[in-house]
Amino acid sequence: MIRLCPLLLLLTAAAAAFASGADEAHVSIAVAEKGLAFAKDVLIGEAVRSLTPLRLPGVEKAVRVPFLGGVRVAASNITLFHLDVGDNSTIFPGDSGLLVVASGITANISMHWSYCYDSWLFPIEIADSGTASILVQGMEVGITMVIKNNNGSLALSASQCGCYVKDLVISLDGGASWFYQGFINAFEDHIKAAVEKAIPENIIEGAGTLDSFLQGLPRTISLDDVAAFNMTFINDPHYGNSSIEFDINGLVTSAVAKTTNLQKHPQLSLACGGASKMLLLSLDEDVLNSALEVHFKAGSMHWVVDKVPDQSLLNTANWKFIIPRLYWNYPNDDMLLNISMASSPVIRITSEKIEATINADMVIDVVDGKEIVPVACISVIVSTSGVVDASGNKVYGRVGLDNFSLALKWSRIGNFHMSLIQGVIRVFLNTVCMPYLNSRLGNGFILPVVHGFTLQDVYVLTSAEQLTLCSDVTFNASSLASLSLL
């Protein structure tokens, strides 16, 4: 079974990750104006969903009515059951926070009303009751949300939140409601005040829930048993005129390494090939190289090849005219290729492509009966390049062989020139490694995005030392109740 090329696979697979860990920010995420508008719509939609129904406090009071005397009136079961924000909402990045303003809001409220009084004209108590529907018009809500770095996590707070109700239209039903409109209008100020108090309180409570979620996001995301991505945030977010940028530490570390809160951050350009996108994610080539370094130090970059499409390549008979002594010493014996990395592979990102250089030692093993005999070691330096594409929450890649060089490190079957085996190695790389790698890359690698969100129409851009993903975002509101990082 072929177990070669996970290294090459990792070269582009690492590009699917945003995360990390060493001494500066290597990943930047910028939420552009279009993304802020989307976030605003999602937040407002969820706020509306959480605010309705909203029970408001009831009230009782005594009023004086000409000819009738003192009348006790009450309003109860006051419930705001519908909110319509419409399109009159905006979001403004400020110096240290985000201001969201929703105006022209309408709302519907239901309530139960009652009254009773004693009159000198009648020896008995007179009472009546009914229901009322209330239309709230011209309501405006504003909230300022401040996002700070709290020891590597994001902390969110609502520094200010206010609500203003312009007008109420009260319609009574039941009893002699036409006669008692004046009584119910006495509750107008109470209902206005109750709405203007309850909505900010509930929004601030919701902001506290969102803060708990943000601070509960994991500091690391495991890549496998060996490596993990450090999700430590660096400094406070950076606010632009129409965007907000978050910097993440960015390097892959050992799965048991502790994360640290670091300071430096890169500048992420909002340019993305002229495309207007909601979200921009940029990661340095150091992120990819750190992933490879961790796996190299863990000793996981070692592969044994015992099967290839042309199995004759792994028999000494196929080498009798290339390396005669190999065939003379071990006639018609099967072979294994035992490959390990001499150093961590190196990735370079340019404006055209992603390049990788791999320095490996390939030991030729001969299966002599029940014994495996190492007979030679060849140093192989391989240069590859590829491109990255994305669809939905997955990143895909495609690579090809650019060049390679060979050098004999040691031999028990005499010296032989590398030019003799160069053609065989080229066939091996092109027919075994590249197809296998591209089949794996074609399956895609899941990006660690928040559950319920899906990247849409992703545009991939490479520049010097940096890979940028630009994307719109769709949101499944039913998933919000169970938000978690994949």
pLDDT at residue 358 is higher than 50: yes
215 near 208, Cβ under 8 Å?
no
Angle at 155 between CA 153 and CA 160, to 5 degrees: 165
- Strands, DSSP E only, in 392-440? 394-411
- Strands, DSSP E only, in 151-291? 153-164, 167-173, 220-222, 227-230, 238-239, 244-248, 252-254, 279-284
Q: Which helix (H) or strand (E) holds 425?
A: helix 418-428
Q: Give the pLDDT score at 8.
A: 34
When computed from its CA atoms, the radius of gyration of the chain, rounded to whole angstroms, is 34
pLDDT average, residue stretch 195-218: 85
- What's the pLDDT tens digit per position in 437-458? 788 778 776 665 665 677 778 8
Q: Label residue 235 left, alpha or beta by phi (over 0 means left) and psi (-120 to 50 means alpha).
A: left
Closest CA to 12 of 297, 399, 314, 404: 399
Please say whether the dihedral angle defined by the alpha carbons of residues 287, 291, 294 and 296, taken in this order, is positive or negative: negative
Distance CA 221, CA 253 (A): 10
Q: Label residue 484 left, alpha or beta by phi (over 0 means left) and psi (-120 to 50 means alpha).
A: beta
Distance CA 227, CA 107 (A): 52
pLDDT at residue 463 is higher than 90: no
Per DSSP, the three-state class of 81 is strand
CB count within 10 Å of CB 445 equals 19
Q: Indicate the range of 122-126, 207-211, 212-216, 416-420 predicted with least confidence.
A: 122-126
Q: Indicate the range of 47-61, 64-78, 321-335 predicted with least confidence.
A: 64-78
Q: Is 358 exposed, middle or buried (0-12, 13-18, 19+ CB in 10 A)?
A: buried
Distance CA 264, CA 59 (A): 56
> Got the DSSP string for 34-47?
HHHHHHHHHHHHHH
Distance CA 54, CA 199 (A): 9
Residue 468: band (very low, low, confident or very high) from pLDDT cuts 50, 70, 90: confident
Distance CA 409, CA 415 (A): 10
> Got the DSSP string for 63-109?
EEETTTEEEEEEEEEEEEEEEE-TT-EEEEE-SSSEEEEEEEEEEEE
Q: Indicate the range of 212-221, 319-328, 333-342 predicted with least confidence.
A: 212-221
Q: Indicate the range of 92-101, 202-211, 263-272 predicted with least confidence.
A: 263-272
Identify the structural domains of the chain with CATH numbers, from first to last.
53-216 (3.15.10.10), 221-474 (3.15.20.10)
Q: Give the pLDDT score at 364.
A: 94
What secondary structure letter does DSSP report for 313? G
The strand pair at 59-65 and 453-463 is best described as unpaired
pLDDT at residue 387 is higher than 60: yes
- What's the pLDDT tens digit per position in 241-290? 888 888 888 777 766 544 433 333 344 445 565 567 777 777 788 877 88
CB count within 10 Å of CB 370 equals 5
Per the structure block, which two tokens stand in for 389?
A: 């594409």
Q: Which helix (H) or strand (E) holds 289?
A: helix 285-297
